Amino acid sequence: MAREHRLAGEFQDYLDGDKALPVPIYAVWGNHEDKKVVERLFQGEQQVPNLHLIHQAQAFQVGPVLIYGVGGNFLPSTKLLDRSIAGSGGKIWSTLSQYVDLVKMVESYSGWQGLRLMVTHVSPGKEGY
Structural contact between residues 126 and 114, judged by C-beta atoms closer than 8 angstroms: no
> Is residue 72 in some structural domain?
yes
What residues does 119 pair with on adjacent strands? Answer: 69
Q: Is 20 exposed, middle or buried (0-12, 13-18, 19+ CB in 10 A)?
A: exposed
> Is residue 7 in some structural domain?
no
Question: Residue 85, preceding bond cis, omega within 30 degrees?
Answer: yes
Rounded Cα gap, residues 114 and 63, in angstroms: 9
Structural contact between residues 85 and 76, judged by C-beta atoms closer than 8 angstroms: no
Q: What's the domain range around 92? A: 21-120
Give the per-residue pLDDT at 85: 75
> Is residue 4 in some structural domain?
no
Q: What is the mean pLDDT of the chain?
A: 85
Q: What are 2-48's pLDDT values in tens digits?
A: 566 666 578 888 988 999 999 999 999 888 888 888 888 888 899 99
> Is residue 74 in some structural domain?
yes
Residue 83 pLDDT class (50, 70, 90 cuts): confident
> Is residue 46 in some structural domain?
yes
Give the per-residue pLDDT at 3: 60
> Is residue 107 in some structural domain?
yes
pLDDT at 49 > cutoff 80: yes
> Is residue 12 in some structural domain?
no
Domain count, the chain: 1
Residue 72 pLDDT class (50, 70, 90 cuts): confident
Structural contact between residues 68 and 60, judged by C-beta atoms closer than 8 angstroms: yes
> Is residue 5 in some structural domain?
no
Residue of 60 and 33 predicted with greater confidence:
60
